[in-house]
Structure 1
Amino acid sequence: MDKQSVAVLGAGSWGTALALVLADNGHDVRLWGHKEAQIQEINHYHTNEKYLPNIKLPASIKGYTSLLEALIGLETVIVAVPTKAIREVVRKMASCLNHPVTIVHVSKGIEPDTLMRISEMIEEEMPPSLLKDVVVLSGPSHAEEVSLRHPTTVTVTSKNMKAAEFVQDLFMNQNFRVYTNPDIVGVEIGGALKNIIALAAGITDGLGYGDNAKAALMTRGLAEISRLGTKMGANPLTFAGLAGIGDLIVTCTSVHSRNWRAGNMLGKGETVEEVLNSMGMVVEGIRTTKAAYQLAKKYNVSMPITEALYAVLFKGENPKKAVDALMNRMKTHEMEDLVNILDERLEDEK
């Protein structure tokens, strides 16, 4: 691919790691953040120590605090901010633009109350005259490992697969492999809901319940994600891929995972407020749990793990009591979920 100029909005760990991938591919990268000291560090020392300690950034990554300057003359913008900041950042972006751009969002969440996926939020906030396409990049990818150039594989999706293929070429290199998937609903739902299961997995680890319990939780969690996702129009096969089981595994089993760490602290007896104050970074799974709980009610889908976690996070339920109740639920046939999902899919295709 020819050299491109790309803006990355959000100078946290993930935005910075993706900026590094783009710079490795020979592109000029404008990394936008709102903290002056952080941007000065990026420009003068080529580091971002708070988010990616001990990583040297390529000189082709230039930091900006002015969103207007960061966007001048660009056609591709990577949005790497938390879900709760998406609308504000997109509105600000729209006020700075006088030409259409392709927006690649790399966040994983669902907005409570509106129950919108992130691509839907972007489409609602960005005037059609300023939006070429929305592309989603998702999959099992810790920023810490990407920044070390460890092998990583992700997926991209869009309503316009030509746009997805452009983003695939933009990011693809020997360390960062990119696949395409036409199922935008499934990719976004899988990426968002796995954070809920990671929180629950962290709780079981914090309680000292071991690998057996976590394996059961992850397996039932994937079934839960698939049930809701297919009700919302996703292809069930997506949840057997990178955006489903791939992301679920990495987020539920790694100390790099903020959601796992937050759950682990909850399992050890800390309150939600103590966990958030201690971590100092966004834990997407907490906000997504509320949205998924609302979606389960809307679509009349059984999501016992989500319901248990909702009780812990928003109703003050004791984590041990909630997990023990999950483990003692009425037994069902393991294949029921798969059969029901396939039956519904076949019915929809008639």
Structure 2
Amino acid sequence: MKRLFLSLLVLLVLATASVAGAGWWYAHRSLLLSAERVDFTIPRGVGMRQAATIIERAGVGVDARALALIARIGDRAHRIKAGSYEVHAGITPWQIVLKLSDGDVTQGELVLLEGWTFRQVRQALESHPELEPDSAGLSDAELLARIGAAEAHPEGLFFPDTYLFDKHSSALAVLERAYQMMQVRLERAWGERDPALPLASPYEALILASIIEKETGSAADRALVASVFANRLRIGMRLQTDPTVIYGLGEGFDGRLRRVHLDADHPWNTYTRAGLPPTPIAMPGEASLRAAVQPQKSDYLYFVARGDGSSEFSRNLADHNRAVNKFIRKRGG
């Protein structure tokens, strides 16, 4: 009887070792994938069993029940993290479990550039291969309502930056982040404004910052460009800035600004209308926001591009005309 018990015990140990060995082998064997790279997303609140099913259905050649069991035996099942993942040929079930529990996620990237118009922002959003284009087909007003914006016009409301997101995220969700970021940066800039600033609201600061963004090729000149516009606003002099005119012309602008364009009145024509235009004309960056609310002290009223990205500043029209002759008309002195 004793010998029988010992024999059964040995068989049980051997069977257990065999199962453990098979489990170890399965956990560390390379899996077949439906493609060289397979992407999948684990939603928030999903348990290991559901995650394993998502992974199997995505095209990873793993048995979902076995993957969930491996995670449980390895004490990782309760530690999986939501997000977007990608796996490559040669990955093992245990490596997948480690990816999920370590949160080794892959993220998409959207770059919004300083000086972009909202039309360019929408194009980047809705053409991004890793974003769900849920903003497509919405009017600007509908889009603003969806992200909780109170403004009536979308131009300039989004902060230019690099935004990381889980793949297959909502385009509107990313856009809302950019909107909230601009709100934070604008509020902070407005709180640090020069007390003598000739602007009545943060939105006016945003408008001026957008003009500075489009007018400045040199970072060193930004605060002086801001001072020219601030000085003009103080004395009621028209801003007379080409980028606002170009913005008002819209998609019909062919790249060459003519006298007829400067004379044609519209809300963004700062040659025909005093004060700021009704909306921003682009997305300003942090430096332009800061320059708009803290312009450098100067008595300059004019500037002209030198052609190398920098500007020539003048205090009076006679000096400005000489600068125009030198740098624009190339007549010298």
- Smaller-chain TM-score bracket: under 0.3
TM-score scaled by length of structure 1: 0.25
Would you tell me which structure has more helix in proportion to its own residues? Answer: 1
Mark the structure with the bigger radius of gyration.
Answer: 2
Q: TM-score, normalised by structure 2?
A: 0.26
